[in-house]
Amino acid sequence: MAKNPYLPRPRTVLLTTLAAGLALATGAAYAGRQCETAKPTPQVIERGMALAQRTAAALDAAYAQDGTRVVLLARAGQDLTKYGQTWSHVGWAYRTPQGVWRVVHKLNQCGSDRSMVTRQGLGEFFLDDLWRYQATWRAAPRAWQDALWQLLQDNGRALTLHQPRYSIVSYAWGTRYQQSNQWAIETLALAAEPGLRQRAQAQAWLKLKDYQPATLRIGPLARLGGRVGSANVAFDDHPDAQRFANQIQTVTADSVLSWLDRLDAAARPTAAAGMIKI
């Protein structure tokens, strides 16, 4: 496995201690959020770890039932209901040969215009001041699950289509920026078609497979406020006609989950999806 500073070497245990949780507070990457100066409270740690443990149990049950070892895992880190969205962020969770679930996902660096891809345990993935302590998951499409499982453990390949320039509302069919959910589905395309070398090729594959991005209604004042107030918000990659019509097409967690439901419906195993909450 190639070494890379963006992808820490996997740890083999789920974070379960208060000390481990507090250590994470020094991290500098969040899913489109500003960095928090306050350490997580004991209640935040307790609830995050409880959600992680329930998620691990659910994924272990799916693995025992039909061998599912890669899932798209979604969390609700922010309240996006005004945009008609339930989930804010997704990552690919995979089961290691040692039986531990790890999550590979893309994170914004402290509200800046930069991002990184990282590998975390379930405890770290949920150790955030979540808006809602719930999670949902979908099994990776059976046809590409093995290829994706191998890709996620290869640091170099996991970064093949990573674009460090970040905008939380990046255009779904653009390549100037890339947000977290966008990296996830483009990386699935890479697993399905290993010969891909460019993001535009991955996006062409996604169109062929009928992925449909979400269209968010964001008016000019909100766009101006977001652009001026946050380095991780940019609209200049969206087509003028759509932008001036207040129609922002971007890759949301909800749209990815819905697409996976359609994509794998015919060959969906029994344990292909789930909801976890505390």
SS (H, E, C) 210-267: CCCCEEEECCHHHHHHHHHHCCCCCCCCCCHHHHHCCEEEECCHHHHHHHHHHHCCCC
Res 277: pLDDT? 85
Q: Is 242 exposed, middle or buried (0-12, 13-18, 19+ CB in 10 A)?
A: middle
Task: Please give the Cα distance from 49 to 7 (Å, whole number).
Answer: 22
Q: Which of 16-30, 169-183, 236-250, 263-277 has the lowest mean pLDDT?
A: 16-30
Average pLDDT, the chain: 85
pLDDT in tens, 223-241: 655 554 588 999 999 999 9
Q: How high is the pLDDT of residue 186?
A: 98
Stretch 95-117: mean pLDDT, rounded?
Answer: 96
What pLDDT does 128 receive?
A: 76
Share of the chain above pLDDT 70, in %: 80
Per-residue pLDDT for 255 more than 90? yes
Domain ranges of the chain: 18-277
Q: Using CA atoms, how far apart are residues 166 and 133, in angstroms rounded to an integer?
A: 26
The pLDDT value recorded for residue 10 is 37
Query: For residue 12, what pLDDT band results from cuts at 50, 70 and 90?
Result: very low
What is the enclosing helix (H) or strand (E) of 155?
helix 155-158
Q: What is the pTM of this model?
A: 0.86
**Average pLDDT for residues 188-215, to the nearest whole number?**
97
Q: How confident is the model at residue 111 (pLDDT cuts 50, 70, 90)?
A: confident
* pLDDT value of position 220: 72
pLDDT cut 90: percent of the chain above it? 72
More confident: 278 or 67: 67
